[in-house]
A and B are shown apart, each in its own frame.
Chain A
Amino acid sequence: MAVLRGSWSTISALRRGLFCLKRHKLQPATCFRAFSTDLDEEQPAFPGSRSKWTEKLEFVQPDLYDGIPVYRVMNRKGEIIDPAQDPKLDEETCTKMYQRMTLLNTMDRIMYESQRQGRISFYMTNYGEEGTHIGSAAALDEHDLVYGQYREAGVLMWRGFPLDRFMNQCYGNEGDMGKGRQMPVHYGSTEHRFVTISSPLATQMPQAVGSAYAFKRAQNGLCVICYFGEGTSSEGDAHAAFNFSATLECPVIFFCRNNGYAISTPTSEQYRGDGVAARGPAYGIATIRVDGNDVFAVYNATKAARHIVTSENRPVLIEAMTYRIGHHSTSDDSSAYRSVDEVRHWDSTQHPIARLRAHMVSKGYWDEAKEKQWKDDCKRQVMQSFARAERRQKPAWKAMFTDVYDNLPPHLKEQYEYMEAHVKEYEDHYPVKNFAKEG
C-alpha cells in the first residue's frame, strides 16, 4: 500500500512539474551531500541514517550492552542511597503520597471482595503498582492530560477524584459520569484531566501523541502522559505512537508500567531484548528505566521527564519496573501460571507502600498510632462510599441511546420510542425498578 501511495504522489508531482523543486526545497541538505563526493567518502550520506562506514562484516548483537540501568533513590528499606537524589519532599507531601497509596489499596480490597460477592460485575486491583501511579502523578502539573490504560486508579486518586465517583462508576449507578455504559474501572474525568478508559489496549497511545501535538501548537505549557503496560507495548499502536511522537516532536511522556505479566504471559514471552526502555533510543526518544516500587525514583524521573517534554517539545519514555501482585482482574486466577512464592516475594520484600512507610517512619513522619488511625479512617471512608453507591439507582435506561452522536438522530429516536412502548407492555420482564425514571 505504501508503495502505491508513493508512486502516485511521485506521478502527480511530476505532472505538476514540481518534482525537482520539491526535492530541493524540502531536502536541501540531502541534495547537497549527494553532490559532495568527498564528504560521501568520509561518511555515508544516505538520507535515512547517520553513522560511519565500516569494512568489518559484523552484525550488531542484541546483547551488545548490559542493559539500561534501573534508576532508584531508596533501597528496599526505604533509605535514601544517594542524598543528591533525595527529592526532599516535605512531610505533608510524603503523607499525602502514603495516604493516597493506602487508600487506593483499601478501595481495591473492598471492591475486589464486592465483585467476589457478585455486587459489582468486574474489578481490577492495582496491588503492587501504587508507587508508579502516585510517584508519577505527583510529579505532573495537575492540568497535564492523562491517558490511562486501565490500571492507573492511583493517578486519579492523587488528583482528588472522590471515592464516591470511583464507586459510582463501578456500580454504573446514576452518579456515574460515564452513565453506566462501561465495565467497572473505566473511569474518566474532565476536571481531573483524565481521558475515559477504553478496554482495547494501546489505542490510547497514538491518541496521547495527537493530544500532545495539539498542546504543543496551543503553547499551553502542558504535556500529556500516557500509561501503558509492557504487554501493550507489543501492539501496533505502540509502534505508531513512539514513532509519531519522535518525528512530530510531541510533548508526551510514555509511562510504561512493566509489571511482569500481560494476563498470564510473562515478559519472557512478550519481548526479547532489553525490555521496553531499549526501544526508546531506537525511535529517537529520551529514555529512562526506574524502580517502579520506589515512589521517589518514579517522582524524580517523571519530574525530569516533564521538564524535557515541555521545554524541548520532544517525547520521553519511562519504563517503570514493578510487579502485578494481584490477579490480572476478577476474571483471572493467577495461581494457574505463577507461583504463590513468587507473588509473596514481591508482596513482602518489594512493596512500594512498605518502602515509603519505612522511609517516613525513619524521618519521623509516620508511626504506629498514625497507621492505625489512618487504616481505620480509610476503611470507614471506603465502606461509607461503597454503601452510598450501592444504594443508588441505575441511570434511566434512555441513556443507552444518547451520546452515540451529539444529538439523537431520528433512527435512534425511533428505536428508543419503540423500546419505550415495548417495555411498557412487557414491564414485568425488565428490571425497570432498578433504573431511574426518565425525567
Chain B
Amino acid sequence: MTSLAKLPRFSHILRSITATNVRYIPPSRLSSHFTYYPDTVADSLGETARLNLFQSINQALDTALATDDSAVIFGEDVGFGGVFRCTVDLQDRYGKDRVFNTPLCEQGIAGFAIGVAVGGATAIAEMQFADYIFPAFDQIVNEAAKYRYRSGNLFDCGRLTFRAPCGAVGHGALYHSQSPEAYFAHTPGLKIVVPRGPVKAKGLLLSCIRDNNPCIFLEPKVLYRAAVEMVPTRDYTLPLSSADILDEGEDVTLIGWGTQVHVLREVAQLARQQLNVSCEVIDLVTILPWDREAVFESVKKTGRLLVAHEAPITNGFGAEIAATVQKECFLHLEAPVERVCGFDTPFPHIFEPFYLPDKWRCLSAIKKLVNY
C-alpha cells in the first residue's frame, strides 16, 4: 500500500463501526477446514530447510533450471515471481530467456509449451489458476495428450509439465477454487499429480518435469503458505503413480489427495477417538495413472472404502476409484464404497463451509460404513 500512501485511510472509521452497532460476522476466509500434518523425512536425505509449499516448488523449479539448460519456465506474471510467489527470483537467477511472462492467453501458453517440448526443450508452464486452464483444454486434451500416439511415437511432448494452483482456499468462490483433475483424468496420455505438502511437491514436481509424458501438476493453493515442513535441499525425485499409506489401519480405508489428505488424517484420529474405528489413510498422489494395487491391497484388508475429494461428486475421480474397487475387491467389501465430495454445484463463495467434504461429513460417512 506504500504506493498509495497519499490516499486517506478509513481504518479508524471502520473500527468505530464495529465497536458500535454492527454484529460482526467474520468472513469465511478466516476459517480453515483442515489441520496440516507435516511430512518428516529420513536423515539419509541429507540437509533440510524449513519451507512452505511455494518455497519448495520454487526450489524444485530452481533445481530444474540448474540441471537442464534447455528448461524454460513461463506463464502469466511468472517474471516477477508469480501471483503465488512460486517463481520468485528465478528470472534474476536464470535470465529473461528462461523465465518469462507470456501474454495473457492460456491456450497460447499450452500450445507454446507443447511446441517447446516438441522442439527439444523442457517446458514448465504455469496456468495462473486451475480454474483458468479451460481455454487450454483443446491444446492439452487433443494435442499434448495425443502427440505420441497419433504420430506413431515419431513426435512427443513428454518434456512438458503444466503447473496450476487448485482447490479450496476459503474465499475463492467459483473461479478460484476448482479442482479439475477429473476432466483431465478422462484423457489417456496425460499424467496428473497432486502433492499434499512441500516435501512431496518438490520430489514429484521434479519427477513430472523429468518424466517423458506431459504432466499436469495441481498445487493446492491453500497449502502454499499453510504447509510448512523440513524439506531436503538436495535434488531428489519421488515416484509417480505410487500412492502413500500415511496411517495404517484395519477397519476403513480413506483415500484422498492434496489438501483432503490432511482432512482425512484428522478424521482417522477422530474415528479412533470417538468411534474406536481404525482407519488406513492413503494419499493417492497421482490421479492418472493411479496406483490401483495399493488401493486394492488396502481395501481387501479393511473391507471398507471412503474416497473424498473437493471436486463435485458426479464423475469426480472418486467415481473411477469406487467402480474399480467394486470390480476388483467385490468379495472383500463389507459395505458399499462411500464418496464424500463437493456437491454437484459450482464452487460457492460464502457457502464454502457447507460445500467442502469436511471432517464431519467424512466422520459421518465412516459411521455409515462401519454400521452397514
- Cα A423 to Cα B353 in complex, Å, equals 11
Q: What residues make up the interface of A, taking CB atoms closer than 8 Å to B?
A: 109-110, 113-114, 116-122, 127, 172, 180-183, 186, 198-201, 231-232, 234-237, 262-265, 269-271, 325-327, 331-338, 340, 343-344, 347, 379, 383, 386-387, 390-391, 393-395, 397, 399-401, 404, 411-412, 415, 419, 422-423, 425-426, 429-431, 434
Known: A182-B174, A183-B176, A430-B354. A118 touches B26 (CB 8 A): yes
B154 within 8 A of A: no
Residues of B contacting A331 in the complex (Cβ-Cβ under 8 angstroms) = 83
Residues of B contacting A332 in the complex (Cβ-Cβ under 8 angstroms) = 83
B170 to chain A, nearest CB (A): 8
The answer to whether A232 and B176 have CB atoms under 8 Å apart is no
- Cα A216 to Cα B2 in complex, Å, equals 48
- Cα A423 to Cα B135 in complex, Å, equals 37
Cβ-closest chain A residue relative to B23: A391
- Cα A109 to Cα B26 in complex, Å, equals 20
The segment out of B44-52, B231-239, B339-347 that lies at the interface is: B339-347
Cβ-closest chain A residue relative to B82: A264
B175 within 8 A of A: yes
The answer to whether B104 and A270 have CB atoms under 8 Å apart is yes
Checking B11, B173, B344 against A404 with a beta-carbon cut-off of 8 angstroms, the contacting residue is B344
Cβ-closest chain B residue relative to A395: B350
Chain B binding site: helix, strand, loop or mixed by DSSP?
A: loop
Checking B11, B135, B351 against A397 with a beta-carbon cut-off of 8 angstroms, the contacting residue is B351
The interface bits of chain B over 146-177 (1 if a CB of A lies within 8 angstroms of the residue's CB, else 0) are: 00000000000000000000000011111110
- Cα A390 to Cα B16 in complex, Å, equals 13
Checking A344, A393, A394, A415 against B344 with a beta-carbon cut-off of 8 angstroms, the contacting residue is A415
Known: A383-B13, A400-B354. A118 touches B29 (CB 8 A): yes
Residues of B contacting A119 in the complex (Cβ-Cβ under 8 angstroms) = 14, 24, 27
Residues of A contacting B7 in the complex (Cβ-Cβ under 8 angstroms) = 109, 127
Checking B3, B77, B354 against A335 with a beta-carbon cut-off of 8 angstroms, the contacting residue is B3
Residues of B contacting A182 in the complex (Cβ-Cβ under 8 angstroms) = 173-174, 349
The answer to whether A391 and B135 have CB atoms under 8 Å apart is no
Residues of A contacting B27 in the complex (Cβ-Cβ under 8 angstroms) = 118-121
- Cα A113 to Cα B9 in complex, Å, equals 7
The interface bits of chain B over 67-80 (1 if a CB of A lies within 8 angstroms of the residue's CB, else 0) are: 00000000011011
Checking A118, A336, A399 against B351 with a beta-carbon cut-off of 8 angstroms, the contacting residue is A399
B21 within 8 A of A: yes
B360 to chain A, nearest CB (A): 4
Checking B3, B132, B345 against A343 with a beta-carbon cut-off of 8 angstroms, the contacting residue is B3
The answer to whether B343 and A419 have CB atoms under 8 Å apart is yes
- Cα A109 to Cα B9 in complex, Å, equals 7
What are 30 contact pairs spanning A and B, CB under 8 A?
Answer: A116-B11, A118-B30, A119-B14, A119-B24, A181-B174, A181-B346, A182-B174, A183-B173, A198-B175, A199-B175, A200-B131, A200-B132, A231-B103, A234-B105, A235-B106, A263-B76, A263-B77, A265-B77, A265-B101, A269-B100, A269-B101, A379-B13, A390-B22, A391-B22, A391-B23, A397-B354, A400-B355, A412-B343, A431-B28, A434-B25
- Cα A198 to Cα B131 in complex, Å, equals 12
Known: A183-B171, A235-B105. A422 touches B23 (CB 8 A): no
- Cα A153 to Cα B103 in complex, Å, equals 25
B3 to chain A, nearest CB (A): 4
A173 to chain B, nearest CB (A): 8
- Cα A375 to Cα B345 in complex, Å, equals 43
Residues of B contacting A199 in the complex (Cβ-Cβ under 8 angstroms) = 131, 173-176
Cβ-closest chain B residue relative to A183: B173
Known: A109-B8, A181-B348. A423 touches B17 (CB 8 A): no
B361 within 8 A of A: yes
The answer to whether B11 and A113 have CB atoms under 8 Å apart is yes
Residues of A contacting B14 in the complex (Cβ-Cβ under 8 angstroms) = 110, 113-114, 117, 119, 386
10 further A-B pairs in the complex, CB-CB below 8 A; given A264-B77, A269-B103, A335-B3: A116-B11, A119-B27, A180-B351, A200-B131, A231-B103, A236-B108, A344-B3, A397-B354, A430-B353, A430-B354
The answer to whether B107 and A231 have CB atoms under 8 Å apart is no
Top 9 A-B residue pairs of the complex, sorted by shortest distance between their CB atoms: A121-B171, A199-B175, A234-B103, A400-B351, A180-B350, A172-B350, A231-B104, A183-B173, A343-B3
B364 within 8 A of A: yes
- Cα A399 to Cα B103 in complex, Å, equals 37
- Cα A118 to Cα B11 in complex, Å, equals 11
